Structure 1
Amino acid sequence: MVGLISPDNIVQFRAIPYATIPARFKQSILLDILQSGEDFTQHGHACPQAFTGDGSTSGGHIPGEIYPPPSDEFKCLILQLNIPLAHLQAAATSTKLPVLVYIHGGGFVLGHIDEQHNTSLMVQQSLADATPIISASLQYRLGALGYLHTPGNANLALNDQRNALRWIQKFIGGFGGDKEKVTVFGESAGAMSICAHMLCAPTVEGPLFRRAVLMSGCLGPMTCPAGWGEAEEMVEVFLEKCGVAERGEEGLSRLREVSVDRIVEVSEELNNTGRMWLTVQDEGWFGRDAGQVTWDRVPELIGKCEWVEEIVLGTTGFEGTMFMPRLASISPASFCSSLTTQLGPSNANTILHAYAITPSMDHNLFTTRAMQWMGDVVFEAPTHALALHLSTHTRIKVYRYIFTPRNPFPSSLFYQQSHHWVDIYFVFLTFVFRFPTPRLRSIARRHAQLWIGFANGKAPWTEYTYSGKGDEVVMVADEREGWVERSVEVHEELVEWGWGRCEALWAGWEGMRGGVFRAGDLECLRGVGMT
């Protein structure tokens, strides 16, 4: 295999195919033979998607990056490896290195291996700190290509990811990696995907990873697996939008003849009107013993995962910023009315009180509170529930963090906001050259070091143990102090908010346990895109 030395002490193997796709909407098939003598120095194809971003949220695309990248639905199942050059040269005699694997986010409709998410600088940092690792990044199918479910071919994207992790188990030893020391980390949809892997029984190869980092993403009432009724409705709507009159296998055959551009266009259209591309309740993935994987059972079921030993999980300072366009268009009165219709007066009042929302309040203040609510519904509350359950009812060690540095790029709509995904600009070290202050560069470097240390089996900071007294320890990334441990009580006093809001949400949702429930599916928000 021919790789690229980038940077000067790291060998990067790009666009390694890990699986084949026999046909659109079919399960991918693991490639169990590694071809020798091939060139892996060029970037590969992304999964077809709506390439509409101008990079402004990060100050523009990284210099030299090609955007939009080439895409191909049948050539997109690729991964990238970054290996210390010296270790690769002595792989036969060296100690096997731990492996850190990244699964990208993007709302299940966006994302690919690019320079922004390049993990090679993390490997370089690991060498500088004498804690060497091998890193990997993987792609999977998106939108309808990965999440249009039919019996026998459900959860295509999850199966893609699993095949990539199986490929790593099979071949990473030849690159000097230790298949018994694999840590996965993902952000948003990537983290939610990791949760889904923890809800699945180990493959015949055994556990695919032992540690996990969940960055702003746990399965919850907006993102837990859809029931087959929801999935069938999505197929029906998709067929109609694509102009396909046939149904069943004949309809799928016709859908395979539709251009991939149209498939992407309809995927995006549905996403922009409030529908999400989610996993589905399929016994082939979750198993018969799990029963229904409902939103309220996710913490319990993840807690039963016997092969994951430790989890790092956390969120950013204000997860709801990106929902502003969706929420600014509704009135506080319509929100209160819709929440009451959804949950009943008593449960709705529990939540409205926690967020200090009233029907006649100032609209600007309402938008802020509604953004807090939506950020909690999608990200904070599921993360809090999982941390609480794992730390009190399981043997899994939990390390919790909060990332509060703000977006430092003036061209961004989210400038000076600690928004969802802002930590992505730090952990990979790829934007350090663009940071305006040494302190921000130091925070980024420490971020990478913490994840690297965790992959090496080190406890990153004090373990989180929920007591309900505020004495739990969390790690906080702070613009003034850097990465610092704080008690929950001290941090909540400093930032003037608390996870009591999340507990109020869970209490308000009590009557919805055990069934399909989309907490953000309010009458006043129907037909409005998530972001």
Structure 2
Amino acid sequence: MSLHVTTTIKHSTLNATLHGVLRRGGADVLQFRGIKYGHVPARFTAPIAVDDWAGANVDSKEYGPRCPQQAFDVGYLLRLPEDVELPREREDEFECLNLDISMPASEARVGERKREGLLPVMVWIHDTCKIVETSVKESKPVIVVAMQYRLNIFAFGDGKGPRNLALKDQRLAIDWVKKHIAGFGGDPENITVAGESAGAVYAHAQVVGNAPVKRAILMSGTLEMSPPRPLSNEATIVAPIEAKLARIGSSLRTATAEQIIEALTEANMVSMWLQQSPDEPELSEWTRTGNASSLLIGDVEYESILWRNGIEALTPQMIVDAFNLAGEHSGELRRAYNITGSRATPSKTGALDFINDTRFSWPIRKLSRAWRAGGLPVYGYAVDQANPWQASSRAHHAVDLVLLFGGLDLSFNPAAAAVGDEMRRRWIAFVNGEAPWSADTTFAFGPHGISREVDAGGLAARRRTAQMETLERVEPAQLGAVFAALAAGRVSLLN
């Protein structure tokens, strides 16, 4: 897809003229990029909305900056060929509250659209032009909004001000969409929030926080995967970073963004968590459905690849010791996951399976059950299509993004391309308010390019449903202790 012309929209509620770009492809897509939805007045402060441009001409042809963050080789996890160049993004902690809007070019005459002609909207955090293009081909056009927001310690804070700043940024963006998307031809009453991994955790948090969304798509993540932790735990994040900055005569409040990122890297801070803040008491009520009326949720077959190298470094006895933290359930749990002190490979594989189930597959199963108990439709899926470039890496964490968004050429692997096409069709149907498949089944994407609905037996052949029955009998605190002993400090994208 290539850029050809500039396009312009006069937007009444923003009081602005926005200049975007037309991307030519299988179906033409209009993009308005880098639109500021908020402003960060100072580090670790709550965001302020940007709603009125006072009649200005707004250049929306270039992507806006992202939040400063540690450099990771994303291609490592995704198994991308080394000659694939990913775009370099600008970074600015104070100007990162921006979003990109992608819409079908055929819907450009937005000023003349009546209420009944407005399009469904999906709010996401990744590039999504291929979804918009496919939606046009399917005659089910959608508008996609991709947001930037604060990350890592810039979102976590220093314990002296507001917490969960990423959540506050995201909610501001969703509220911005609610107020202004009609000016782009989108329906403010028909918003789907979606995310993958940490993005899914955030999307789930927005649902339970009563964000004005009609549907949710949670890919490989729920609030139970990364539950909010007590404020008393803040020091384990803040103190090591402050100590490293103090050595150069600085602090989290005064250091440059570059110095903070360097301190994060030195402290090996690769992940953080939501906080149990009095500003968001509802986060502990993870089964709340908020304003949403339906859910699309699922996982990939090998989520726990993120811990593979860390688990490989453990001895069988260390793994046994971790499972023994389950108390009276330890024997049952070890048998379920084939954990022994004398067999290294089965024990390490079993530890990865346990992490996979307790943080991904089992929470998805429990959340689905809770929503269905409330009478709401849940559409479960399982992605089993292997990595297109290295099938031996299996259907690992984040490979679903490669398949779904279609930003990389998969023509060399027709099976993977077919699964990606099928995922986009089903996701678009859901965003349009249709049932993407029967709520009584699970939709299996792959392996071998074959996508179809499966019953409970078919799901049991793909996921460890018997082991999950064992997990149901163990106290959450005991499972948490086992997980912490196995996984703490051992997660990495370089797996």
Scaled by the length of structure 1, the TM-score of the pair is 0.83
- Shift of the 258–518 alpha-carbon distance from structure 1 to 2, 3 Å rule, reads farther
Once the two structures are superposed, the pairs formed by residues 453-472 of structure 1 within 5 Å of their partners are 453-464=429-440
Aligned to 1:157: 166
Aligned to 1:399: 379
Please say if residues 239 and 245 of structure 1, whose CA atoms lie closer than 8 Å, have aligned partners that are also in contact: no
Instruction: Report the Cα offset of residue 527 of structure 1.
Output: 4.7
Please list the CA deviations of residues 480-515 of structure 1 after superposition, one character each: whole Å capped at 9, or x if unmatched.
46220111213323x4x52222232242234559xx
Please list the CA deviations of residues 438-479 of structure 1 after superposition, one character each: whole Å capped at 9, or x if unmatched.
332221111111111101000111114xxxxxxxx2110123
Give the aligned CA root-mean-square deviation in angstroms: 2.4
Please list the CA deviations of residues 24-59 of structure 1 after superposition, one character each: whole Å capped at 9, or x if unmatched.
111111112146421111122121111231624252
The counterpart of 2:367, out of the listed 361, 370, 386, is 386
Please list the CA deviations of residues 309-328 of structure 1 after superposition, one character each: whole Å capped at 9, or x if unmatched.
00010000121122110100
Residue 96 (structure 1) aligned with residue 118 (structure 2): yes
SS in 1 for 2:303: coil
Show structure 1 runs of 4+ deviating over 4 A: 60-65, 269-272, 510-513, 524-527
Q: What is the rounded CA distance, in whole Å, between the counterparts of 2:22 and 2:82 in structure 1?
A: 22
- Shift of the 241–520 alpha-carbon distance from structure 1 to 2, 3 Å rule, reads farther
Q: What is the rounded CA distance, in whole Å, between the counterparts of 2:460 and 2:465 in structure 1?
A: 8
Aligned to 2:12: none
Q: What is the rounded CA distance, in whole Å, between the counterparts of 2:490 and 2:446 in structure 1?
A: 34
Once the two structures are superposed, the pairs formed by residues 234-383 of structure 1 within 5 Å of their partners are 234-243=237-246, 254-272=251-269, 276-287=271-282, 293=284, 301-340=285-324, 342-344=325-327, 346-361=328-343, 363-383=344-364
The counterpart of 1:209, out of the listed 195, 200, 213, is 213
Q: What is the rounded CA distance, in whole Å, between the counterparts of 1:370 and 1:511 in structure 2?
A: 17
Q: What is the rounded CA distance, in whole Å, between the counterparts of 1:374 and 1:181 in structure 2?
A: 36
Aligned to 1:30: 49
Q: Which runs of 5+ in 1 are unaligned?
A: 104-116, 294-300, 465-472
- Shift of the 421–525 alpha-carbon distance from structure 1 to 2, 3 Å rule, reads closer
The worse-fitting range, judged by mean Cα deviation, of 121-130 and 32-41 is: 32-41
Aligned to 1:502: 468
Q: What is the rounded CA distance, in whole Å, between the counterparts of 1:31 and 1:219 in structure 2?
A: 29
Q: What is the rounded CA distance, in whole Å, between the counterparts of 1:63 and 1:39 in structure 2?
A: 29
The counterpart of 2:458, out of the listed 487, 490, 496, is 490
Q: What is the rounded CA distance, in whole Å, between the counterparts of 2:481 and 2:48 in structure 1?
A: 33
Q: Aligned letter for 2:49?
A: L
Please say if residues 158 and 252 of structure 2, whose CA atoms lie closer than 8 Å, have aligned partners that are also in contact: no
Q: What is the rounded CA distance, in whole Å, between the counterparts of 2:153 and 2:364 in structure 1?
A: 27
- Shift of the 451–527 alpha-carbon distance from structure 1 to 2, 3 Å rule, reads closer
The worse-fitting range, judged by mean Cα deviation, of 145-154 and 134-143 is: 145-154
Q: What is the rounded CA distance, in whole Å, between the counterparts of 1:12 and 1:511 in structure 2?
A: 47
Q: What is the rounded CA distance, in whole Å, between the counterparts of 1:281 and 1:175 in structure 2?
A: 36
Please say if residues 377 and 519 of structure 1, whose CA atoms lie closer than 8 Å, have aligned partners that are also in contact: no
Residue 18 (structure 1) aligned with residue 13 (structure 2): no
Q: What is the rounded CA distance, in whole Å, between the counterparts of 2:92 and 2:337 in structure 1?
A: 45
Aligned to 2:446: 478
SS in 1 for 2:246: coil
Q: Aligned letter for 2:121?
A: V
- Shift of the 262–483 alpha-carbon distance from structure 1 to 2, 3 Å rule, reads same
SS in 2 for 1:283: coil
Scaled by the length of structure 2, the TM-score of the pair is 0.88
Instruction: Report the Cα offset of residue 88 of structure 1.
Output: 1.8
Q: What is the rounded CA distance, in whole Å, between the counterparts of 1:415 and 1:364 in structure 2?
A: 17
Please list the CA deviations of residues 150-176 of structure 1 after superposition, one character each: whole Å capped at 9, or x if unmatched.
354111011011111111111101111
Q: What is the rounded CA distance, in whole Å, between the counterparts of 1:90 and 1:306 in structure 2?
A: 30
Please say if residues 99 and 183 of structure 1, whose CA atoms lie closer than 8 Å, have aligned partners that are also in contact: yes
Please say if residues 207 and 213 of structure 2, whose CA atoms lie closer than 8 Å, have aligned partners that are also in contact: no
Aligned to 1:428: 405
- Shift of the 395–239 alpha-carbon distance from structure 1 to 2, 3 Å rule, reads same
SS in 2 for 1:320: helix
Please say if residues 143 and 264 of structure 1, whose CA atoms lie closer than 8 Å, have aligned partners that are also in contact: no
Q: Aligned letter for 2:398?
A: W
Q: What is the rounded CA distance, in whole Å, between the counterparts of 1:318 and 1:145 in structure 2?
A: 30
Please say if residues 97 and 149 of structure 2, whose CA atoms lie closer than 8 Å, have aligned partners that are also in contact: yes
Please list the CA deviations of residues 86-109 of structure 1 after superposition, one character each: whole Å capped at 9, or x if unmatched.
212244235100001113xxxxxx
The worse-fitting range, judged by mean Cα deviation, of 57-66 and 315-324 is: 57-66
SS in 2 for 1:242: helix
Number of equivalences: 470
Q: What is the rounded CA distance, in whole Å, between the counterparts of 2:474 and 2:183 in structure 1?
A: 52
Instruction: Report the Cα offset of residue 63 of structure 1.
Output: 6.2
Q: Give 1 or 2: higher strand fraction.
A: 2
Q: What is the rounded CA distance, in whole Å, between the counterparts of 1:441 and 1:529 in structure 2?
A: 29
Q: What is the rounded CA distance, in whole Å, between the counterparts of 2:488 and 2:405 in structure 1?
A: 36
The worse-fitting range, judged by mean Cα deviation, of 346-355 and 73-82 is: 346-355
The counterpart of 1:129, out of the listed 106, 120, 138, is 138
More RCO (CA 8 Å, sep 6+): 1
Residue 189 (structure 1) aligned with residue 192 (structure 2): no
Q: What is the rounded CA distance, in whole Å, between the counterparts of 2:464 and 2:434 in structure 1?
A: 29
Aligned to 1:451: 427
Please list the CA deviations of residues 64-91 of structure 1 after superposition, one character each: whole Å capped at 9, or x if unmatched.
7533x22111111111000112212244
- Shift of the 390–62 alpha-carbon distance from structure 1 to 2, 3 Å rule, reads farther
